[in-house]
Homo-oligomer: A and B are copies of this chain.
Amino acid sequence: MNYPNGIKKQTNTSKLTTNINYKNRGMTLEAELNSSNEYYRKIDKAFIYKKPTPIKITKVDYPSRDKTIIKEAFFTIPSTTDYNGLYNGKYIDFEAKETASKTAFSLANIHPHQIKHIENIFNHGGIAFLIIRFTTLNETYLLPAKIFLDFLNKTKRKSIPIIFFREKAYKIKDGYRPRIDYLKIIDENIGGI
């Protein structure tokens, strides 16, 4: 059964369900980040954008002089993270992912060259992090590059357990404007990120 406003019938029966905030249901993490970034721009706070999805164009049509239609193209693997920009004179760079898992975030969701990119950014003085949302739990975390890279160096695990996020990452509260105020976490922890 479909409920209005994108709210789905709750089938999760764990104890956590009673605490779930329904506010963001139906809006993807990407949509919320785009709206948050738009808000940051509007208030002249930060200029952070999602990069267009990289594609390889293989067929193009020119039906008229000033019109181009792409007739065949394929998604390609991105070489960097999805979001970057400028905040307060600082270079900001992050990747955002959702997972339905209640127990862990699978590292298969992040390409090896994206990890390398995050490492490069961190080493060269940029502010890099992941924003991971556990959709079923409705918990969203900002995981700073340093903590993420330390985890990768210290373990051979193929996923990051939810408990690691709860202990080491910064939980991002749901908001209204912006919906995901991740820069607040940067403001409060700038030295450590």
Contacts and interface: CB of A to CB of B under 8 A. Distances in A.
A152 interface: no
By CB atoms of chain B within 10 A, which of A71, A124, A126 has the most?
A124
B124 A88 contact: yes
A80 interface: yes
A73 interface: yes
A122 to B, nearest CB: 10
Complex copy number for this chain? 2
A51 interface: yes
Interface in A61-96: 68-75, 79-80, 84-91, 93
Interface of A: 41, 44, 46-47, 49, 51-55, 68-75, 79-80, 84-91, 93, 117, 120-121, 124-126
